[in-house]
Structure 1
Amino acid sequence: MDIHTETSVREKLDLLAPLFDEQTRRLWAAAEAQVLGRSGISLVARATGLSRTTIHQGLKDLVELRETKGLEKKKRIRAVGGGRKPIDEYDPTLRRDLELLVDPVTRGDPESPLRWTCKSTRQLAAALVEQGHVVGRQKVADLLAELGYSLQAKRKTKEGSANHPDRDQQFAYINEQAVAFQQRKQPVISVDTKKKELVGEFTNGGQEWQPKGEPEQVQGHDFPDPKLGKANPYGVYDQHADVGWVSVGTDHDTSEFAVESIRRWWNKMGRLRYPDAAELLITADGGGSNGYRVRLWKVALQRFANETGLRISVCHFPPGTSKWNKIEHRMFSHISMNWRGRPLISHEVIVNLIGSTTTQSGLTINAELDTNLYPKGIRISDEELETVNLTKASFHGEWNYTIGIKCSG
C-alpha cells in the first residue's frame, strides 16, 4: 500500500460523500478496505478519518447483507447529533490516569518535567481497564501522541555504557530540582546539540509531497561540500513555556558555542519571559560540548553568570541516558519531522525550517544563524578552573552543581 492508494481512497470519498448517509458510508469504507486486503482497514481509516471500529462494523454489515441475500433490513442510520461522544465528555479522568501510569520518575505526578513511556499500549490499556475505564490500545496510542509521549525502543536507552547504579536516583534528583525551580517561577531549560547536518543538495530521510513524477534531485554521494560544510544546531528548550531556541553554528561545536547559544536564548527570549529571574536551571547530557567533565563549559558558564547576575544550577543526565533529555523528544524530534525529505541546501534553509516547526501542543521555536568562530583545543588550566565560583551538590556533585556570580577584584 502506498500513499497514492490512500490519496485515491480520499478522492473517492470526496466525490461520493454527498450521496452517503451514515450506513452507506460505513459500507463503502468496509468494501474498500476488503478489496485492498492486508492493511486495508488502516489505510481507509487514515484516508477517510473514520475509526477502525466503524470500518470493522461495516465489514460485519456486509456479511449480514450477503447472508440475507439483499433482503430489506432495518437501516442502522445514526440520528443527527448521534454517535460516540469525545472521550473527555464521558471519561474525564482518563487522560490524567494514563499520565500517572507512564510517568517515569514520580509514579504519579503528571507535572513531572521528565516524561517517556516504555510500556506497550496493550499493557497500558489493560491497566486502565483494571481502574474502571473502558478503553482500547488504539485509543491509548492516540492519547499518548496527543499528550506528547513517544514509545522508546530498548536499543535507544543505552549508549554503550553500563547502567549507573544511581541512574534512577539522579532522574529523581533532576525532577525534584526542576519542580522546585518552576514553583519559584525560575526558568528551567533543557540543552543539547542536535545531530550535525550536511549542508547542500544531499538526501534527507523521509518523504514530502511533490508533483507526481517530479522528485527533487539531490547528489548521489554524501561528501561534504567544502564551501557549505556542516550545520551544528544547538538547542535550548524551555520546559515550562514549551518554547525553544536553536543556534545554527557554522564552526565547531565547542563549549563556548554551547554557552553562546544559551546566552542568545536568554537575551532574546528568556529574560523577556522571566524578568524577575535570579536563578537558572540547566539540564544537560553528561558528554559533548556541555559535558560534566568539560572545563571550558564551566568557565564559559561563569562568564555568563557574571554577565546576567543569574545563579546557574546544572544537572547532568547520567552516562548512557542522553535519550532521556527532554529536548530530544519535545523539540528535536519535531524539527526532524518538519524537514524530513527536504534537502538542507543552505544554512538559511535550515534556520527557516527550524523556525517554522510547530506542534499541536503549541511548541514554537526561534532560530538564528551563528557564524562566529569557535576554535577547538582550548585548554583550561587548574588555576583557571579554580576561579569558577562552583558549589557541588551533596548528591553526585560531579553531575549537580551551581555556579554563582563572581565579583571582580
Structure 2
Amino acid sequence: MGISEADLAALDVKFAAVLPHLDERQRRLYLAAEADALGHGGIVAVARLAEVSESTITRGRLELASSAPVLGRVRRPGGGRKPAAERDPGLVPALEALIEPREIGDPVSPLRWTTASLRDLARELTAAGHPISAPTVGDLLRAAGFSLQGMAKRRAGSQVPDREAQFQHINTTVEQFLADGSPVVSVDAKKKEPIGDFARAGRTYRPKKKPITAPDHDFTFADTPVAIPYGVYDLGQDVGWVNVGTDRNTAAFAVESIRRWWNQQGRGHYPGATRLLITADSGGANSADSHLFKNDLAAFADESGLTVTVLHFPPGTSKWNKVEHRLFSRITHSLRGRPLTSYEVLLQSISATRTSTGLTVSAVLDDNNYPTGRTLTKEQRQMLLQRVQRDDFHGEWNYTIGPYDPSTAPPAEPEQAKAPPIPTEATYLLTHPALTGMTRDQFDRLVTELEPWRRTLAEAEREKRKGINRRGYNPGFGFLDHRHRVLAAVLSHRNTVTLTLAARLLGRDRNTLSYHAHRTRPLLGFAAPDLAAILAQPRRRTHPPRSIEALQNEITAYESNIKSGSS
C-alpha cells in the first residue's frame, strides 16, 4: 500500500516545525524513525520532504537499531576533519624553525612571543609546502604557549656596586634632615618642550566631535622657542617649584633654579635653616662628576650661608628621585592634550597643578642666557677640591659644600718655579742653515708668517673644545713659545738633529719638544712658496747627530762645503 498525500502533507508540516531545532545527529535519528513508521517507500519519501540524502536516513536507522547508543556526541568517535598538525607532521617543526631566529626573551619561559605576524608565517609555511591559514597558525602558536605582548620597561639600569646601600643612605639622611626641620629638596630637569602650535599626547573632555586641532606634522626649527622646566620638590612641605628656562640646560641653570627656589620660597618656609639637603640623579646638568655644578653650588652656599649636602642616586636609577613621580608626573597630567602656544600658557598650566594630598606648584620664567663651554682654571679646581667634603661612603655620590671660611682655608701652595729661559746661544746654534735648510733671516720670516695661522688654528681648537672635557689635553707637557715650536717642527721634519739633543741644548724635556713639534707641523703647510720649496726637500736619510761634538762637526763640514763652492 502506498503513502497517502494526507500523510505526506502532515509529515511536511512536522518537519518544518521540528527540524530547525535539532542538531545533526538528532535530525538523522528523527527522520529514520519517521521513515520506519511509513513502511515501504518511507526512506525515499522522508528524504524528499526533508531535503537530505537517503544514506543519511539509512545511517540513522542503523544507529536506532544499535543496542549501545552514543550519548552526548553529534558524530561518531573519530569523525570530522583531523587537526592540521596531525594531517601534516612536518608543520609544527617548520613553524618552530621560522619562529626560532625571531624569538625574543627566555626560550624556557612558559610565555614566549615572536616578531613575525600570523600572515607572514602562514605565507612562508605555504611557500615551504605546508599549506595553512593565518588563524590556524595562531591556534598552533597559542597551543605552544605563545602570546602577543607589548614591551614592559621593568629592567633597571646598570647594576653599580652598593646600589641598594646608596638608597638606604639617602633614605636615612633624608629622615635625619626632616626630623631636624631642615629643608630637603629633590631636583631634576624635565624634558625640553617646544613652544608653539604642536600636538601633545593625552585626552581632555571637549564637546563631542570638537577636538583641539593641531597640524598633522610637527616641524621644529633652530629658532623655535623651547622651554626647559627645572623642578625643585620640597619633601617637607609637599610644594613644587619649577624654573622654566628658555636657553640651555647647564650647571649654571640648575644652580640658578635652586637659588631662585631658596630666595622666593625656601627661605620663607625655613627661616632658621643652616643646612640644605639636595637629592639628584647622577647625570645631566646636576651630574655627580660635574665640577661646574659643584663650583656654582659653592657660590650659592656663600650667598645663602647654607651648608649644602648633595646625595646623588646611582646611575640608571633617576626615576627613584621624588621629583619624578611626585611633581613631574602631576605636571605631565596637567599639560595633557593641549598645545603650549606660549610661555604664559605653560606657566599657568604648571601653576594650576594640584593634588588631593595638598601639592601646590609655582612656576617662573627664566630668560637668562646659559652659554656652554665654561671651564674652570687649575686654581679654581684646586680651591673647589679643598671646599668639597666627600663622605666616607661613596664620596663621588655624597658630598657637602659649606660657606667659605677664610680662617679654615688651607695655606696656599707655593708657586712652582717657572722653567728657566732658553739660552740664546742654543737657539742660534739650532737655527743654523745646516740644520734648518734656510738662512736665519728666512727662518725668522717663516716664524712671522706662521703666527697669524697659529692664532687662527688655536681659536678654532678652542671653539671645538667648548663643552668638551679637556682631560688629557696637553697632559703634563710644558709650554713653548711660537718661535721654538716652529724650530722643533722644522728640525723634526728635516731630521737633521735628534729631538733629544735639541731638548738638552734648549733646557727642555724631550717629550715637550716632540709634543709641540707634532702639533705645529701642520702649520708648515702655510709657508710662502720659496720657504715651502725648502721644506719640501727630501728628509735626511742617515742618522742625525746625537752629541754636541757630532753636531758641531756637521756644521763645520757644511760651512767648509759652502766656502769651497763659493771659491
What's the TM-score bracket when you normalise by the shorter of the two chains?
A: 0.5 to 0.7
Q: Would the alpha carbon gap of residues 304 and 156 (structure 1) be closer, same or farther in structure 2, given more than 3 Å must change?
A: farther
Amino acid in structure 2 at the alignment position of 1:248: V
**Partner residue of 1:249?**
245
Letter in 1 for 2:337: G
Match of residue 168 from structure 2 = 172
| 2:254 corresponds to | 258
Match for residue 313 of structure 2 among 313, 317, 328: 317
**Which piece of structure 1 moves more, 210-219 or 341-350?**
210-219
1:144 aligned residue? none
Contact 1:235–1:244 (Cα < 8 Å) also in 2? yes
Matched letter for residue 358 of structure 2: G
Residues 157 and 321, structure 1, Cα contact 8 Å, conserved in 2: no
Distance 1:366 1:327 in 2: 14
Counterpart in the other structure of 1:383 = 379
Contact 1:199 1:225 in 2 (8 A): no
Equivalent residues of 1:391, 1:402 under 8 A apart: yes
Rate the CA distance shift 1:156–1:348 in 2: closer, same or farther, 3 A. farther
Identity %: 49
After TM superposition, give the deviation of residue 216 of structure 1 in Å. 1.6
1:398 aligns with 2:379: no
Question: Aligned partners of 1:222, 1:277: CA distance in 2, in Å?
Answer: 47
SS class of match (1:256): helix
1:156-190, Cα deviation, whole Å (9 max, x unpaired):
553xx421121100000001110111111100000
The one-letter code of the counterpart of 1:370 is D
Is 2:303 the partner of 1:307?
Answer: yes
Q: Secondary structure at the match of 2:374?
A: coil
Q: Could you tell me how far apart the structure 2 residues matched to 1:343 and 1:408 are?
A: 52
SS in structure 2 of the partner of residue 155 of structure 1 = coil
1:283 & 1:369 partners in 2: Cα distance? 23
Post-superposition offset of 1:225: 4.8
| Structure exhibiting the larger radius of gyration computed from Cα positions | 2
In the alignment, does 2:220 pair up with 1:221? no
**C-alpha distance in structure 1 between counterparts of 2:218 and 2:309, whole Å:** 40
Corresponding residue for residue 275 of structure 1: 271
Call closer, same or farther: CA 1:347–1:228 in 2, change over 3 Å: farther
Q: Distance in 2 between matches of 1:254 and 1:313?
A: 20
TM-score (norm 1): 0.60
Matched, 1:292 2:292: no
1:385 Cα deviation (Å)? 2.2
The range that moved more, 302-311 or 226-235, is: 226-235
* Residue 201 (structure 1) aligns with: 197
Distance 2:377 2:185 in 1: 29
Please tell me whether residue 240 in structure 1 is matched to residue 236 in structure 2.
yes
Tell me if 1:345 matches 2:345. no
Q: Distance in 1 between matches of 2:152 and 2:163?
A: 16
Matching of residue 231 in structure 1 with residue 227 in structure 2: yes
Q: Normalized against structure 2, the TM-score is what?
A: 0.44
Q: State how far apart, in whole Å, the 1-side matches of 2:152 and 2:377 are.
A: 40
Instruction: State the match for 1:62 in structure 2.
Output: none
CA distance in 1, matches of 2:378, 2:352: 44
Aligned-residue CA RMSD in angstroms? 1.5
Q: Distance in 2 between matches of 1:327 and 1:393?
A: 24
Instruction: Return the alpha-carbon distance in structure 1 between the equivalents of residues 197 and 221 of structure 2.
Output: 9
Measure how far apart 1:377 and its partner are: 1.5
Aligned to 2:564: none
Q: Per-residue deviation at 1:213? A: 1.8
Which residue in the other structure is 1:185 paired with? 181
Q: Where in structure 2 are there 5+ consecutive unaligned residues?
A: 1-150, 408-567
Whether the aligned pair in 2 keeps the contact of 1:200 and 1:343 (CA below 8 Å) is yes
Secondary structure in 1 matching 2:279:
strand
SS in structure 1 opposite 2:153? helix
Partners in 1 of 2:154 and 2:235 — Cα distance? 22
Partner Cα separation in structure 2 for residue 337 and residue 382 of structure 1? 46
- Could you give the per-residue CA deviations for residues 4-31 of structure 1, whole angstroms, max 9, x where no partner exists? xxxxxxxxxxxxxxxxxxxxxxxxxxxx
CA distance in 2, matches of 1:408, 1:229: 44
Q: Deviations over 1:231-285 (max 9, x none)?
A: 1000000011100100000000001000000011001110000000000000000
Letter in structure 2 aligned against 1:400: N
Q: 1:328 aligns with which of 324, 327, 332?
A: 324
1:220 is displaced (CA, Å) by 2.2
Matching of residues 115-154 of structure 1 within 5 Å? none
Cα deviation, residue 193, structure 1 = 0.2
Look up the match of 2:352.
356
- The CA distance in 2 between the partners of 1:406 and 1:154, in whole Å, is 48
Which residue in the other structure is 1:71 paired with? Answer: none
Partner residue in 2 for 1:40: none
3-state SS of 1:353 partner: helix
Q: Secondary structure at the match of 1:206?
A: coil
Name the aligned partner's letter for residue 214 of structure 1: K
2:369 to 373, 382, 385: 373
| Uncovered stretches (5+) of structure 1, i.e. residues with no partner | 1-152
Between the aligned partners of 2:289 and 2:297, the Cα distance in structure 1 is 13
Paired AA for residue 213 in structure 1: K
Q: Which has the higher contact order (CA 8 A, sep 6+)?
A: 1
Residue 211 of structure 1, CA deviation: 1.8
What does residue 467 of structure 2 align with? Answer: none
